[in-house]
Amino acid sequence: MYLTVNGLTKSFGELEVLKDINLTIEKGKVLSIIGPSGSGKTTLLRCLNALEQPNEGTFSFHDSFNLDFSNKIHKRDVLKLRRKSGMVFQSYNLFPHKTALENVTEGPIIVQRGKKEEEQNRAIELLTKVGLKDKANLYPNQLSGGQQQRVGIARALAIKPELMLFDEPTSALDPELIGEVLSVIKDLVKENWTMVVVTHELQFAEQVSDEVLFMDEGYIVEQGPPSQVLKEPKEERTKQFLKRILNPA
């Protein structure tokens, strides 16, 4: 077991976005989160590394690192939480004035204070892993969307996270570029990374997930193995969602 979340809530003003979220993320497993727009998927993912701070709830990690968001959270604990996870965003979030190589080394050198030469060598290894060794010295505006997202994956890996978080990593891509990004993620699955993936690619979720979680209106409506949630859902709301996605006539 890697992380257990209990009683997680998140509101923006009067808008309650997450309501009593309880889940467990198993070490070396892939959890995919699906659901309609506005269901709270991205907010949940951002809460997992404190880009958004929950109003209430507890995080319990395998190494006995615990957080209770009902109380004031110290900045050092937020930083400790963020060091545990690498985030891949919908819209890449690369530094436009830095090369692919510089984007990948930024976190390890500036934040984690790694040695420049060592981190540059590791960054080249990671860019090679995602098929972009020959693009190391190019800037984001010289790369396709799929290439930028692959740099984003390499950047997330560079901080040596225990948990990889993907926020709809293909949603901003043209259809012909989606496959190259999903292929990289599938390779990471084979390496037994612990991953949480918010996605609208249901076939991809079925292929890579150990568990699928369906959210709607801030609640976890249903969760279980992909064969159950995606093929034989128990909840009527899940059935309606899948019918609309799979038969959009």
Q: Report domain extents, the chain.
A: 1-84+186-249
Q: What is the pLDDT of residue 52?
A: 92
Task: Quote the pTM value.
Answer: 0.93
User: Own/partner pairs for 16-22, CB < 8 Å, 24+ apart?
Assistant: 16/218, 17/43, 17/218, 18/43, 18/44, 18/47, 18/54, 18/218, 19/217, 19/218, 19/219, 20/219, 21/57, 21/219, 21/220, 22/220
Ordered strands of the 30-34 beta sheet: 85-88, 163-167, 194-198, 30-34, 211-216, 219-224
Calculate mean pLDDT across residues 145-155.
Answer: 95
Distance CA 4, CA 24 (A): 4
Distance CA 166, CA 86 (A): 8
- Which pLDDT band, with edges at 50, 70 and 90, does 213 fall under? very high
User: Crossing angle of helices 145-158/175-190, nearest 10°?
Assistant: 20
User: The tokens 């984001």 sit on which residue?
Assistant: 140
Q: What is the pLDDT of residue 64?
A: 75
Q: What is the DSSP letter of 112?
A: S
Q: What percent of the chain has pLDDT over 70?
A: 96
Residue 248 pLDDT greater than 80, yes or no? no
Question: In CATH, which superfamily holds the domain spanning 1-84+186-249?
Answer: P-loop containing nucleotide triphosphate hydrolases (3.40.50.300)
Calculate mean pLDDT across residues 212-231.
Answer: 96
Distance CA 220, CA 59 (A): 17
Tens digit of each residue's pLDDT (9 = 90 or more) over 13-45: 999 999 999 999 999 999 999 999 999 999 999
Residue 159 to residues 75, 100, 119, Cα–Cα distance (Å): 19, 15, 10
Which residue type occupies 48?
L
Distance CA 235, CA 214 (A): 10
SS3 131: coil
Residue 212 is encoded by which pair of tokens? 């699928």
Tens digit of each residue's pLDDT (9 = 90 or more) over 101-112: 999 998 887 666
SS3 200: coil
Average pLDDT along the chain: 91
Tens digit of each residue's pLDDT (9 = 90 or more) over 91-146: 888 999 999 999 999 888 766 667 778 888 999 999 999 999 999 999 999 999 99
Distance CA 170, CA 178 (A): 6
Find out whether 222 and 214 touch, Cβ atoms under 8 Å: yes
Q: What is the pLDDT of residue 125?
A: 94
- Which pLDDT band, with edges at 50, 70 and 90, does 249 fall under? low
Q: What percent of the chain has pLDDT over 90?
A: 73
Distance CA 230, CA 239 (A): 9
Which residue, among 158, 171, 165, has the nearest Cα to 201 in the 3D structure?
171
Calculate mean pLDDT across residues 184-204.
Answer: 93
Q: What is the pLDDT of residue 116?
A: 78
Distance CA 25, CA 85 (A): 13
Q: What is the pLDDT of residue 150?
A: 95
Calculate mean pLDDT across residues 157-168.
Answer: 92
